């Protein structure tokens, strides 16, 4: 289980929060890959804590479907599967479409100029950018609609979905072609908003997310997608204690 060489301790966090936040971030950014076995004793030693906060953190991750736990057997980082990816992005696309709809009456020239500036920055600097830079700008673009909609319940749902979507985007945005597609998708949204075309903007917003699903389906090698048969094999090939 490859853990980072060092970690920054935050004394304001409880042991459970520190372990949870770290494991979650490592799962999201790919430090811990799908299928990676999590050993609570090793994690406890790494953070210099008892096993109790580690187990509490793992339970919280399991509740978020980020890890799979077979009590008394093993804990592994959850695999992707096409059904869950499709379900996730369907939910994400509808939520973002609803946020755009809620924000639409407030979208003026100033907001459109802001969206255009963000997307232009995305295009101008993409060649030298890391994934985190790319994703930060993409998030900044979409966050405009949630800020404008000003609905705390939408914000809460977005935070939950972002955790899972970020795992996918981490790999998706490593392709230069996919980055270009995302930029073009943003441009279509902006063009529709400029024309006051709400329906077109919502459709462009949903397409901006669902394109990811089609790319994954067309090229499964980009993501470690595991089916039920492979999951059973994983139990035999070293994941069972």
Q: Quick one: what percent of the chain has pLDDT higher than 90?
A: 56
Question: Is 231 in contact with 240 (CB distance < 8 Å)?
Answer: no
Average pLDDT over residues 19-45: 92
For residue 208, the surrounding DSSP H or E stretch is: helix 198-218
C-alpha 139/C-alpha 162 separation (Å) is: 9
Cα–Cα distance for residue pair 116/51, rounded to 1 Å: 49
State the pLDDT at residue 4: 64
Which contiguous run of DSSP H or E holds residue 183? Answer: helix 176-194
pLDDT value, residue 236: 31
pLDDT band at 134 (very low <50, low <70, confident <90, very high): confident
pLDDT greater than 70 at residue 231 = no
pLDDT in tens, 159-181: 989 999 888 877 665 655 567 88
Tell me how far apart the alpha carbons of residues 130 and 134 are, in angstroms, rounded to a whole number.
6
- Per-position DSSP letters for 216-241, written without gaps between them: HHH-GGGS-B--HHHHHHHIIIII--
Query: For 142-160, how does the pLDDT look when each residue is reduced to its tens digit (9 = 90+)?
Result: 999 999 999 999 999 999 8
Mean of pLDDT values over 178-192: 90
Asked whether the predicted pLDDT for residue 31 surpasses 60, the reply is yes
Q: Which of 3-17, 26-40, 127-141 has the lowest mean pLDDT?
A: 3-17
Residue 237 pLDDT: 34
**CA-CA distance, 115 to 187, in Å (whole number)?**
9
For the beta carbon of residue 200, count every other beta carbon within 10 angstroms: 15
pLDDT band at residue 238, thresholds of 50, 70 and 90? very low
């Amino acid at each position: 289980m490859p853990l980072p060489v060092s970690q920054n301790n935050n004394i304001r966090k409880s042991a459970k929060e520190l372990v949870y936040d770290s494991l979650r971030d490592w799962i999201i950014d790919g430090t811990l890959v799908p299928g990676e076995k999590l050993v609570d004793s090793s994690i406890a030693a790494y953070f210099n804590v008892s096993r109790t906060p580690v187990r509490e953190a793992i339970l919280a991750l399991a509740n978020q479907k980020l890890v799979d736990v077979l009590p008394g057997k093993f804990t592994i980082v959850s695999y992707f599967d096409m059904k869950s990816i499709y379900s996730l992005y369907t939910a994400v696309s509808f939520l973002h479409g609803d946020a755009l709809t809620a924000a639409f009456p407030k979208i003026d020239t100033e907001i459109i100029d802001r969206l255009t500036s963000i997307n232009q920055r995305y295009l101008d600097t993409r060649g030298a950018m890391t994934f985190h830079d790319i994703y930060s700008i993409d998030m900044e673009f979409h966050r405009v609609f949630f800020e404008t909609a000003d609905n705390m319940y939408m914000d809460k749902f977005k935070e939950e979905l972002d955790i899972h979507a970020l795992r996918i985007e981490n790999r998706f945005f490593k392709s230069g072609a996919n980055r270009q597609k995302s930029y073009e998708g943003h441009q279509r949204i902006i063009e529709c908003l400029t024309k006051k075309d709400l329906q077109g903007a919502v459709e462009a917003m949903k397409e901006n997310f669902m394109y990811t699903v089609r790319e994954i389906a067309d090229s499964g090698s980009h993501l470690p997608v595991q089916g039920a048969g492979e999951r059973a094999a994983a139990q035999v090939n070293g994941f069972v204690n």
